[in-house]
Amino acid sequence: MDDNNGTFFNDTARAASGGDNGTVLHNATVDLINDPGNLRRLIITALLCFVSVVVNVISMVAVCHIPGRLSGSHYLLINLAVTDTLGGIVSLFEIIGLILSLKHTFFYLEIYVHVMAIGYSLFVLFYLESAFTLLVFAIQRYIALCRPVQFVRMCSKERTLLAMVITWIVSFLVAIFGLLSLSFVHLGYYISNPDIWQYIWPVILVITFAVIVGLYFCVLRGLHERSSRIRSEQGVEQNYQALVTTVILITILVFTLIPYMIIKLIRYNHGMGGMATINILHWDFGIYLPYTNFISDPIIYALRMKDVREGYMCAFAGACHKSSLNLRGRESISLQTQITESDQVHTQKESLNNSKHL
């Protein structure tokens, strides 16, 4: 294994084993672990994770309450909310891994390495799946607007679910490739270019972004070529708004990822203790960036998609109705209890009166 390789996982592994090349990194790790700002970072990250989970779970409930039968697009929204929820949770791994290594012994540094590797790979899995879900959604809107005759056949619920399975498989393969490469480096196996995975998956995301934007411009050109009457139809307008929403979501996903990945790659290439400014940017700015995407997604498509707003209204109305029924039930039980107690008192009084007469 090349000692000049500056990857974080490789350097951390050498630091854990006490190698000379990891001494500087080990000292930097100890300084970072003893930083009182870690508690603040953990609290902020945990709060962001909690908000991310709450808004996405509420979003899933709202989509499930959309009137009528759920379509393939609705299942895609549920899948997006699931990936955002899980992505928010695994984003905690980085700061948790740091806290776990408080004793900075070999055992705890080993835990640090594995938690970081697994957490990072899962983060890639869910981030890629979010992008691929938006890609499928954009393709469906493109077909609905530019190939409406083929929409029912090509975008059925069954085909949508099949597309979701395929995107999960592709995302998993990319993520597992990264996890295996990081694990092999940590175990001491020689890999000619162990850092290549760090560049592959962001490129996949950028390509996905470019395809979605390309579909948007194709739709825009097609709509301009059609008559104003067709463009004003309700179905066309809703599909167009859905496509614009998809472009907004993928833009936020990519543009929150770019500074996040730049900071990460600089740290990997220079070692964790190499650049103090980059470390500050990473721990006080970079680790919070993904939550911008996870939290904003359900808010954006709730504001822009009419059927999702109807789902929120139905879910809220259902919750209020259920609460009202429970309140009425409790009031009925309370009234019945009072009547029963009154009857018992009346019966006791009659018994006393009868005994006096006797």
On whether residue 328 sits in a domain, the answer given is no
Q: Given pLDDT bands bounded at 50, 70 and 90, which one contains residue 233?
A: low
Other beta carbons within 10 Å of 36 = 6
Cα 255 from Cα 247, distance rounded (Å): 12
Q: What is the dihedral of CA 267, 273, 279, 283, to 10 degrees?
A: 100
Q: Given pLDDT bands bounded at 50, 70 and 90, which one contains residue 116?
A: confident
Question: Residue 68 CA to chain centroid, in angstroms?
Answer: 27
Determine the structural domain holding residue 26 and report its residue range: 8-304
Average pLDDT of 38-59?
92
Output the CA–CA distances (angstroms, integers) from residue 130 to 32, 135, 214, 288, 337, in the order listed: 32, 9, 18, 18, 54
On whether residue 184 sits in a domain, the answer given is yes
On whether residue 331 sits in a domain, the answer given is no
Helices (H), the chain: 8-16, 23-33, 37-64, 72-90, 93-100, 106-146, 148-154, 157-186, 196-225, 228-231, 234-270, 276-284, 289-304, 306-357
Whether residue 229 has pLDDT greater than 70: no
Query: For the segment 14-39, what is each residue's pLDDT rounded down to a tens digit?
Result: 444 344 434 434 444 444 555 667 78
Model pLDDT, residue 267: 78
On whether residue 321 sits in a domain, the answer given is no
Query: For the segment 236-259, what is each residue's pLDDT rounded down to a tens digit?
Result: 888 888 899 999 999 999 999 999
Q: Which residue has the tokens 């808004």?
A: 55
Model pLDDT, residue 295: 96
Query: For the segment 314-342, what is each residue's pLDDT rounded down to a tens digit?
Result: 988 877 766 555 555 554 555 455 555 55
On whether residue 344 sits in a domain, the answer given is no
Please measure the distance between the N-terminal and C-terminal CA atoms of the chain and give it in whole angstroms.
106
Output the CA–CA distances (angstroms, integers) from residue 241 to 144, 176, 307, in the order listed: 12, 35, 12
- The amino acid that residue 347 corresponds to is T
Average pLDDT of 269-298?
82
On whether residue 73 sits in a domain, the answer given is yes
Whether residue 128 has pLDDT greater than 70: yes
On whether residue 322 sits in a domain, the answer given is no
Share of the chain above pLDDT 90, in %: 40
Model pLDDT, residue 323: 55
Q: Which residue has the higher pLDDT, 12 or 254?
A: 254
Q: What is the CATH number of the domain that holds 166?
A: 1.20.1070.10
Whether residue 231 has pLDDT greater than 80: no
Q: Given pLDDT bands bounded at 50, 70 and 90, which one contains residue 204?
A: very high
Model pLDDT, residue 205: 93
Model pLDDT, residue 252: 94
On whether residue 352 sits in a domain, the answer given is no
Model pLDDT, residue 28: 43
pTM for this prediction: 0.79
Positive/negative CA dihedral, 39, 44, 48, 54 = positive
Range of lowest pLDDT (89-103, 109-123, 139-153): 89-103
Model pLDDT, residue 10: 47
Whether residue 80 has pLDDT greater than 80: yes
Range of lowest pLDDT (58-67, 137-146, 174-183): 174-183
- Three-state SS at 50: helix
Average pLDDT of 261-269?
81
Structural domain tally of the chain?
1
Best CA proximity match to 293, nearest among 40, 38, 51, 41:
51
> Is residue 6 within 8 Å of residue 268, measured between CB atoms?
yes
Model pLDDT, residue 328: 54
Whether residue 7 has pLDDT greater than 50: no
Cα 73 from Cα 211, distance rounded (Å): 19
Model pLDDT, residue 4: 39
Please give the mean pLDDT across all residues of the chain: 78
Question: Residue 83 CA to chain centroid, in angstroms?
Answer: 4
Burial bucket for residue 144 (CB in 10 Å: 0-12, 13-18, 19+):
buried
